[in-house]
Amino acid sequence: AQKITQTQPGMFVQEKEAVTLDCTYDTSDPSYGLFWYKQPSSGEMIFLIYQGSYDQQNATEGRYSLNFQKARKSANLVISASQLGDSAMYFCAMSRGETGGGNKLTFGTGTQLKVEL
């Protein structure tokens, strides 16, 4: 079985600062995908970034980067230059198989991020 753990229920960060949201995972699958999604208060789930288990380099997408440490089974999200609009719930998720494919996602409990002036 797969398990995702997000140990930070809530985080505060000052505008323009960087913030790291923690995510650890547990799986016996040799191939898997790791995802981060953002959920604003309006409810929609916004895909941010993806990391495949065999990817050699950490994924980056604009201000988002994924600090993937396979041996530690961690996939932390780093948001640089935080903006007020980054305030939201952030979910880490995992799929079986690297592509994510038609495979279902297992979600963590989420981290509520609040960006302050």
Under rule CB under 8 A, residue 45 binds another protein: yes
Under rule CB under 8 A, residue 100 binds another protein: yes
Under rule CB under 8 A, residue 37 binds another protein: yes
**Main-chain dihedrals φ then ψ at residue 86, nearest 5 degrees:** -80, -10
Under rule CB under 8 A, residue 30 binds another protein: no
Binding region for another protein (CB under 8 A) out of 14-22, 69-77, 78-86, 103-111:
103-111
Instruction: List, in sequence order, every beta strand (DSSP E) within the chain.
Output: 3-5, 10-14, 19-21, 24-26, 32-39, 46-52, 60-61, 64-69, 74-79, 88-96, 105-107, 111-116
Under rule CB under 8 A, residue 90 binds another protein: no
**Site residues (CB under 8 A) for another protein?**
33, 35, 37, 42-47, 50, 52, 91, 95, 98-102, 104-110
